[in-house]
Amino acid sequence: MGNRNKTLGEFIIEHQAAFQYSSGELSKLINAIRLAAKVVNHEVNKAGLVDIIGKAGDTNIQGEDQQKLDVLANDKFIQTLKNREIVCGIASEEEDDFISINSNDEQHQNKYVVLIDPLDGSSNIDVNVSVGTIFSVYRRITPVGTPVTLEDFLQPGRDQVAAGYIVYGTSTMLVYTTGDGVNGFTLNPAIGTFYLSHPNMQFPETGKIYSVNEGNYVHFLQGVKDYIKYCQQEEGDRPYTSRYIGSLVSDFHRNMIKGGIYMYPKSSQTESGKLRLLYECNPMAFIAEQANGLATGGRTRILDIQPTELHQRVPFFCGSQKMMEKLHEFLDKYRE
Binding residues for substrate: 120-123, 213, 244, 274
Residue 272 phi/psi, 5° resolution?
-100, 0
β-strands 87-92, 112-120 pairing: parallel
Annotated binding site for Mg(2+): 93, 117, 119-120, 280
Look at the alpha carbons of 177, 182, 187, 192 in this order and tell me if their dihedral is positive or negative.
Answer: negative
Query: What Rg, from alpha-carbon coordinates, does the chain have?
Result: 19
275: β partners: 314
DSSP for 136-197 reads EEEE--SPTTS---HHHH---GGG-SEEEEEEESSSEEEEEESSS-EEEEEEETTTTEEEEE
How far, in whole angstroms, is CA 126 from its chain's centroid?
21
Contact yes or no for 89/105 (Cβ under 8 A)? no
- Counting Cα atoms < 13 Å in the Cβ hemisphere of 166 gives 25
Instruction: For residue 298, give every residue at least 6 positions away whose Cβ sits within 8 Å of its Cβ, in sequence order, or none.
Output: 223, 265, 266, 315, 317, 331
- Please state, as a whole number, how many other Cβ atoms lie within 10 Å of the Cβ of residue 277: 27
In one-letter notation, the amino acid at residue 265 is P
Q: Rounded to the nearest 10 degrees, what angle do helices 248-258 and 282-290 cross at?
A: 10
Q: Could you tell me how many residues make up the chain? A: 336
Which uninterrupted H or E stretch holds 326?
helix 321-332
β-strands 99-100, 112-120 pairing: unpaired
SS3 132: strand
How far, in whole angstroms, is CA 23 from its chain's centroid?
23
Annotated binding site: 93, 117, 119-123, 213, 244, 274, 280
SS3 93: coil
